[in-house]
Structure 1
Amino acid sequence: MKNGAGKLTLDLAGAPDTDAEELRSLAEQLRRALLELDVEDVQFARGGTAAPEGAKPGETIAAGVLLVTAAPLFVRQVLQLVDTWLRHRPLRSVRVELDGDTIELGHASAEDQRRLIDAFVSARARQAGTPSSGE
Protein backbone atom coordinates (compact mmCIF):
# COMPACT_ATOMS: atom_id res chain seq x y z
CA MET A 1 0.00 0.00 0.00
CA LYS A 2 1.29 3.41 -0.85
CA ASN A 3 0.95 6.78 0.88
CA GLY A 4 -0.32 5.33 4.16
CA ALA A 5 -3.37 3.81 2.50
CA GLY A 6 -5.64 1.71 4.65
CA LYS A 7 -8.01 -1.16 3.96
CA LEU A 8 -11.70 -0.64 4.60
CA THR A 9 -13.80 -3.77 4.85
CA LEU A 10 -17.36 -3.26 3.59
CA ASP A 11 -19.77 -5.98 4.67
CA LEU A 12 -23.16 -5.76 2.96
CA ALA A 13 -26.10 -7.06 5.02
CA GLY A 14 -28.97 -8.16 2.82
CA ALA A 15 -32.65 -8.36 3.62
CA PRO A 16 -33.85 -11.69 5.06
CA ASP A 17 -34.77 -12.95 1.58
CA THR A 18 -31.48 -11.90 -0.09
CA ASP A 19 -29.49 -14.87 -1.40
CA ALA A 20 -25.72 -15.07 -1.92
CA GLU A 21 -25.99 -14.49 -5.69
CA GLU A 22 -28.01 -11.29 -5.23
CA LEU A 23 -25.62 -10.11 -2.51
CA ARG A 24 -22.64 -10.71 -4.81
CA SER A 25 -24.39 -8.80 -7.61
CA LEU A 26 -25.06 -5.85 -5.30
CA ALA A 27 -21.45 -5.94 -4.08
CA GLU A 28 -20.26 -5.84 -7.71
CA GLN A 29 -22.43 -2.75 -8.33
CA LEU A 30 -20.93 -1.06 -5.27
CA ARG A 31 -17.43 -2.11 -6.34
CA ARG A 32 -17.86 -0.42 -9.73
CA ALA A 33 -19.15 2.77 -8.08
CA LEU A 34 -16.21 2.83 -5.63
CA LEU A 35 -13.69 2.40 -8.44
CA GLU A 36 -14.90 5.72 -9.84
CA LEU A 37 -13.49 7.40 -6.72
CA ASP A 38 -9.77 8.05 -6.28
CA VAL A 39 -9.19 4.79 -4.38
CA GLU A 40 -6.28 2.47 -5.02
CA ASP A 41 -8.23 -0.78 -5.29
CA VAL A 42 -11.54 -2.52 -4.56
CA GLN A 43 -11.61 -6.32 -4.39
CA PHE A 44 -13.93 -9.02 -3.15
CA ALA A 45 -12.83 -10.47 0.17
CA ARG A 46 -11.85 -14.10 0.27
CA GLY A 47 -14.19 -16.27 2.31
CA GLY A 48 -13.35 -18.98 4.76
CA THR A 49 -16.02 -21.39 3.54
CA ALA A 50 -15.58 -24.48 1.39
CA ALA A 51 -14.67 -23.79 -2.22
CA PRO A 52 -17.25 -24.51 -4.92
CA GLU A 53 -16.74 -27.69 -6.93
CA GLY A 54 -13.85 -27.24 -9.37
CA ALA A 55 -12.33 -24.25 -7.57
CA LYS A 56 -8.95 -24.41 -5.90
CA PRO A 57 -8.95 -24.16 -2.10
CA GLY A 58 -8.66 -20.57 -0.90
CA GLU A 59 -10.35 -19.14 -3.99
CA THR A 60 -13.77 -18.74 -2.40
CA ILE A 61 -15.10 -15.20 -2.55
CA ALA A 62 -17.11 -13.92 0.40
CA ALA A 63 -20.50 -12.81 -0.95
CA GLY A 64 -21.13 -9.18 -0.13
CA VAL A 65 -17.74 -8.32 1.38
CA LEU A 66 -15.42 -5.83 -0.31
CA LEU A 67 -11.92 -4.65 0.60
CA VAL A 68 -11.24 -1.04 -0.35
CA THR A 69 -7.68 0.27 -0.35
CA ALA A 70 -7.69 4.06 -0.04
CA ALA A 71 -5.65 6.88 1.41
CA PRO A 72 -7.04 8.27 4.70
CA LEU A 73 -7.98 11.45 2.82
CA PHE A 74 -10.62 9.49 0.87
CA VAL A 75 -12.32 7.65 3.77
CA ARG A 76 -15.06 10.29 4.00
CA GLN A 77 -15.72 10.07 0.24
CA VAL A 78 -15.97 6.26 0.43
CA LEU A 79 -18.42 6.45 3.34
CA GLN A 80 -20.54 9.11 1.63
CA LEU A 81 -20.70 7.09 -1.58
CA VAL A 82 -21.70 3.94 0.33
CA ASP A 83 -24.40 5.88 2.21
CA THR A 84 -25.88 7.35 -0.99
CA TRP A 85 -25.62 4.05 -2.88
CA LEU A 86 -27.28 2.13 -0.04
CA ARG A 87 -30.40 4.32 -0.06
CA HIS A 88 -31.46 2.86 -3.41
CA ARG A 89 -30.68 -0.81 -2.78
CA PRO A 90 -32.54 -3.69 -1.09
CA LEU A 91 -30.03 -4.00 1.75
CA ARG A 92 -30.37 -3.58 5.52
CA SER A 93 -26.98 -1.98 6.05
CA VAL A 94 -23.30 -1.85 5.16
CA ARG A 95 -20.86 -2.38 8.02
CA VAL A 96 -17.52 -0.64 7.45
CA GLU A 97 -14.38 -1.53 9.38
CA LEU A 98 -11.07 0.30 9.27
CA ASP A 99 -8.22 -0.64 11.62
CA GLY A 100 -10.63 -2.07 14.20
CA ASP A 101 -13.01 0.91 14.12
CA THR A 102 -16.47 0.22 12.72
CA ILE A 103 -19.42 2.19 11.44
CA GLU A 104 -22.72 0.77 10.27
CA LEU A 105 -24.54 2.67 7.56
CA GLY A 106 -28.22 1.90 7.23
CA HIS A 107 -31.44 3.63 6.38
CA ALA A 108 -31.33 6.44 8.94
CA SER A 109 -32.16 9.96 7.81
CA ALA A 110 -29.61 11.67 5.57
CA GLU A 111 -28.80 14.12 8.39
CA ASP A 112 -28.25 11.31 10.92
CA GLN A 113 -26.01 9.44 8.48
CA ARG A 114 -24.00 12.62 7.78
CA ARG A 115 -23.47 13.13 11.53
CA LEU A 116 -22.45 9.48 11.95
CA ILE A 117 -19.92 9.73 9.10
CA ASP A 118 -18.56 13.05 10.43
CA ALA A 119 -18.10 11.57 13.92
CA PHE A 120 -16.35 8.46 12.53
CA VAL A 121 -13.97 10.48 10.32
CA SER A 122 -13.25 13.01 13.09
CA ALA A 123 -12.49 10.27 15.63
CA ARG A 124 -10.14 8.57 13.16
CA ALA A 125 -8.39 11.89 12.46
CA ARG A 126 -7.92 12.55 16.20
CA GLN A 127 -6.42 9.07 16.63
CA ALA A 128 -4.02 9.71 13.77
CA GLY A 129 -3.24 13.24 14.91
CA THR A 130 -4.32 14.76 11.60
CA PRO A 131 -7.07 17.28 10.88
CA SER A 132 -10.31 15.82 9.53
CA SER A 133 -11.34 17.00 6.10
CA GLY A 134 -14.85 18.42 5.89
CA GLU A 135 -15.26 17.61 2.20
Structure 2
Amino acid sequence: MEERRARSNGSVSIRIEIGLGPWGLPEEVAQAAILLRRDLLQLDIISVDAVPSAPPEGAKGVDVGAIGVMLVSLIEPAGVTGVIDMIRAWAGRGQGRSVKVQLGKDVLEVTGVSREDQRRLIDHWIERHAKS
Protein backbone atom coordinates (compact mmCIF):
# COMPACT_ATOMS: atom_id res chain seq x y z
CA MET A 1 0.00 0.00 0.00
CA GLU A 2 2.83 2.44 0.79
CA GLU A 3 4.33 1.80 -2.65
CA ARG A 4 1.04 2.90 -4.22
CA ARG A 5 0.95 6.07 -2.14
CA ALA A 6 4.57 6.83 -2.96
CA ARG A 7 3.84 6.67 -6.68
CA SER A 8 0.77 8.91 -6.51
CA ASN A 9 2.48 12.21 -7.44
CA GLY A 10 0.70 12.41 -10.81
CA SER A 11 -2.53 10.92 -9.53
CA VAL A 12 -5.92 11.39 -11.14
CA SER A 13 -9.39 11.07 -9.60
CA ILE A 14 -12.51 9.81 -11.36
CA ARG A 15 -15.97 10.27 -9.84
CA ILE A 16 -18.34 7.41 -10.67
CA GLU A 17 -22.08 7.34 -10.09
CA ILE A 18 -23.97 4.13 -10.84
CA GLY A 19 -27.65 3.35 -11.06
CA LEU A 20 -29.87 0.35 -11.66
CA GLY A 21 -32.78 2.08 -13.35
CA PRO A 22 -36.03 3.30 -11.84
CA TRP A 23 -36.72 -0.05 -10.16
CA GLY A 24 -33.33 -0.43 -8.49
CA LEU A 25 -33.78 -0.47 -4.72
CA PRO A 26 -31.21 1.35 -2.56
CA GLU A 27 -29.98 -1.99 -1.18
CA GLU A 28 -29.46 -3.31 -4.71
CA VAL A 29 -27.56 -0.18 -5.75
CA ALA A 30 -25.40 -0.45 -2.62
CA GLN A 31 -24.65 -4.11 -3.39
CA ALA A 32 -23.83 -3.28 -7.03
CA ALA A 33 -21.48 -0.51 -5.84
CA ILE A 34 -19.71 -2.95 -3.51
CA LEU A 35 -19.19 -5.41 -6.36
CA LEU A 36 -17.95 -2.72 -8.75
CA ARG A 37 -15.60 -1.41 -6.06
CA ARG A 38 -14.22 -4.93 -5.55
CA ASP A 39 -13.57 -5.24 -9.29
CA LEU A 40 -11.95 -1.80 -9.51
CA LEU A 41 -9.59 -2.63 -6.64
CA GLN A 42 -8.09 -5.36 -8.87
CA LEU A 43 -6.65 -2.58 -11.07
CA ASP A 44 -3.46 -0.65 -10.40
CA ILE A 45 -5.14 2.20 -8.51
CA ILE A 46 -4.64 4.01 -5.22
CA SER A 47 -8.16 3.69 -3.80
CA VAL A 48 -11.90 3.50 -4.38
CA ASP A 49 -13.85 5.46 -1.79
CA ALA A 50 -17.55 6.04 -1.28
CA VAL A 51 -18.51 9.69 -1.65
CA PRO A 52 -20.35 10.66 1.51
CA SER A 53 -23.32 12.95 1.26
CA ALA A 54 -24.73 14.90 4.15
CA PRO A 55 -28.51 14.44 4.38
CA PRO A 56 -30.62 17.59 4.27
CA GLU A 57 -31.39 19.06 7.67
CA GLY A 58 -34.29 17.21 9.28
CA ALA A 59 -34.13 14.31 6.81
CA LYS A 60 -34.47 10.78 8.08
CA GLY A 61 -32.59 8.04 6.32
CA VAL A 62 -29.97 7.92 3.65
CA ASP A 63 -29.40 9.99 0.53
CA VAL A 64 -30.31 7.30 -2.00
CA GLY A 65 -28.55 9.20 -4.77
CA ALA A 66 -25.24 8.94 -2.91
CA ILE A 67 -25.33 5.18 -2.41
CA GLY A 68 -23.79 4.40 -5.78
CA VAL A 69 -21.27 7.26 -5.84
CA MET A 70 -17.54 6.61 -5.50
CA LEU A 71 -14.22 8.28 -6.14
CA VAL A 72 -11.45 6.29 -7.83
CA SER A 73 -7.93 7.59 -7.31
CA LEU A 74 -5.50 6.46 -9.99
CA ILE A 75 -1.75 6.28 -9.81
CA GLU A 76 -1.40 7.87 -13.24
CA PRO A 77 -3.63 9.15 -16.05
CA ALA A 78 -2.85 6.10 -18.19
CA GLY A 79 -5.01 4.04 -15.81
CA VAL A 80 -8.20 5.81 -16.93
CA THR A 81 -8.69 3.34 -19.79
CA GLY A 82 -8.60 0.33 -17.44
CA VAL A 83 -11.14 1.92 -15.11
CA ILE A 84 -13.46 2.80 -17.98
CA ASP A 85 -13.15 -0.72 -19.41
CA MET A 86 -14.11 -2.14 -16.00
CA ILE A 87 -17.10 0.22 -15.77
CA ARG A 88 -18.14 -0.69 -19.32
CA ALA A 89 -18.08 -4.38 -18.40
CA TRP A 90 -20.12 -3.69 -15.25
CA ALA A 91 -22.72 -1.69 -17.18
CA GLY A 92 -23.04 -4.44 -19.77
CA ARG A 93 -23.89 -7.10 -17.17
CA GLY A 94 -27.48 -6.02 -16.60
CA GLN A 95 -30.47 -4.26 -18.11
CA GLY A 96 -31.14 -0.72 -16.92
CA ARG A 97 -27.67 -0.05 -15.52
CA SER A 98 -26.48 3.52 -15.83
CA VAL A 99 -23.11 5.11 -15.25
CA LYS A 100 -22.00 8.71 -14.90
CA VAL A 101 -18.22 9.21 -14.95
CA GLN A 102 -16.55 12.54 -14.26
CA LEU A 103 -12.89 13.31 -14.89
CA GLY A 104 -12.18 16.93 -14.08
CA LYS A 105 -14.98 18.90 -15.70
CA ASP A 106 -15.62 16.30 -18.41
CA VAL A 107 -18.65 14.09 -17.75
CA LEU A 108 -19.65 10.89 -19.52
CA GLU A 109 -23.18 9.67 -18.82
CA VAL A 110 -24.40 6.41 -20.29
CA THR A 111 -28.07 5.71 -19.59
CA GLY A 112 -30.58 3.77 -21.64
CA VAL A 113 -28.52 3.35 -24.81
CA SER A 114 -27.75 0.23 -26.80
CA ARG A 115 -24.49 -1.60 -26.14
CA GLU A 116 -23.19 -0.46 -29.53
CA ASP A 117 -23.96 3.20 -28.76
CA GLN A 118 -22.54 2.75 -25.27
CA ARG A 119 -19.27 1.40 -26.70
CA ARG A 120 -19.05 4.25 -29.23
CA LEU A 121 -19.69 6.96 -26.59
CA ILE A 122 -17.16 5.48 -24.17
CA ASP A 123 -14.50 5.00 -26.86
CA HIS A 124 -14.90 8.63 -27.94
CA TRP A 125 -14.61 9.82 -24.32
CA ILE A 126 -11.47 7.73 -23.76
CA GLU A 127 -9.88 9.09 -26.97
CA ARG A 128 -10.41 12.66 -25.77
CA HIS A 129 -8.57 11.89 -22.53
CA ALA A 130 -5.83 9.83 -24.14
CA LYS A 131 -4.79 12.92 -26.12
CA SER A 132 -4.44 15.14 -23.02
CA shift for structure 1 position 67:
0.6
Q: How far apart are the structure 2 equivalents of 1:16 and 1:114?
A: 22
Equivalent residue number for residue 67 of structure 2: 63
> Aligned partner of 1:65: which letter?
V
SS of residue in 2 equivalent to 1:25 = helix
Distance 1:91 1:67, change over 3 A: farther
- If the length of structure 1 is used for normalisation, what is the TM-score? 0.75
Counterpart pick for 1:92 among 80, 90, 97: 97
CA deviations over 1:58-115 (Å, ceiling 9, x no partner): xxx9200111001210101111111111111354311000101011234522x43333
Sequence identity percentage: 34
Residue pairs, 1:1-135, within 5 angstroms: 2-49=8-55, 62-70=66-74, 71-106=76-111, 107-109=113-115, 111-126=116-131, 128=132
Q: How far apart are the structure 2 equivalents of 1:95 and 1:113?
A: 12
In proportion to residue count, which structure has more helix? Answer: 2
- How many residues get paired? 119
Root-mean-square deviation (CA, aligned residues, Å) is 2.3
Q: How far apart are the structure 2 equivalents of 1:100 and 1:76?
A: 17
Question: Is the CA contact 1:10–1:97 (under 8 Å) kept in the aligned structure 2?
Answer: yes
Q: How far apart are the structure 2 equivalents of 1:123 and 1:86?
A: 21
In proportion to residue count, which structure has more strand? Answer: 1
